[in-house]
Amino acid sequence: MHELEPFYNWRDYYIASEDKLSPFYGRDYSQFNYSQKIYNYYIHPQWDYFGADTLYCKILYVNYEQQIAVIEFIGEWNDLVHNDIMFLKRDIIDRMMLHGISKFVLIGENVLNFHTSDDSYYEEWSEEVQDEEGWIVGLNFNKHVIEEMRRGGLHYHMNIGENYNEIEWRKQKPEHILPLIEQLLLRSLN
């Protein structure tokens, strides 16, 4: 796991540690000091700790005019034992929403497992973004993770599923992500 780095090809467009509005503003990163772990496995030092013991993230891109944020995750998303969604919602999402972000792209290809609890934080988040004509989309989550999310009722609050795993987001420039996602959302409404 220590070799899995957050996606870095968009650093010319956005760096969370340099964005004064970012929850991670001012963070200093090491390329060589591996101190963060998920269970007994070290992870790359570029991932950001936000309070969840088994889930880390990286804000890859934010565009305040488009009101969009792209966040990549690694680890085990565990709402049952660790209440990861509470930390994510209160410490990251709420702070971003204060600055007008209402469209969230969650990249989950490195999320190994999901353990559900209740959906109240997801429901709250969904209602808040819908009030601002926003949405929550999960891209590239593993099939077993999507199935567990559906069992927990998360599909009522965020857009997840196979059709959201078709975007080859790494080949795109970040400003092209919003139109691609909106096309998928329109297609799913029809």
User: CA-to-CA distance for 127 and 19, rounded, in angstroms?
Assistant: 26
pLDDT in tens, 38-88: 888 889 899 999 999 999 999 999 999 999 999 999 999 999 998 999 999
**Percent of the chain, pLDDT > 70?**
98
Give the pLDDT band (50/70/90) at residue 134: very high
Q: Could you tell me the CA-to-CA distances from 1 to 51, 56, 94, 101, 111 in Å, in that order?
A: 19, 12, 29, 30, 11
User: CA-to-CA distance for 29 and 39, rounded, in angstroms?
Assistant: 21
Contact between residue 54 and residue 38 where contact means Cβ atoms under 8 Å apart: yes
Which helix (H) or strand (E) is 71 found in, with range?
strand 68-78
**What is the mean pLDDT of the segment spanning 95-122?**
96
Q: What pLDDT was estimated at residue 186?
A: 87
Query: CB burial class (10 A; 0-12, 13-18, 19+) of residue 169?
Result: buried
Q: Where exactly are the structural domains of the chain?
A: 16-189
pLDDT mean across residues, the chain: 93
Q: What pLDDT was estimated at residue 37?
A: 85
- Global pTM value: 0.95
Fold of 16-189: Transcription Regulator spoIIAA (3.30.750)
Q: What pLDDT was estimated at residue 108?
A: 96
Contact between residue 51 and residue 94 where contact means Cβ atoms under 8 Å apart: no
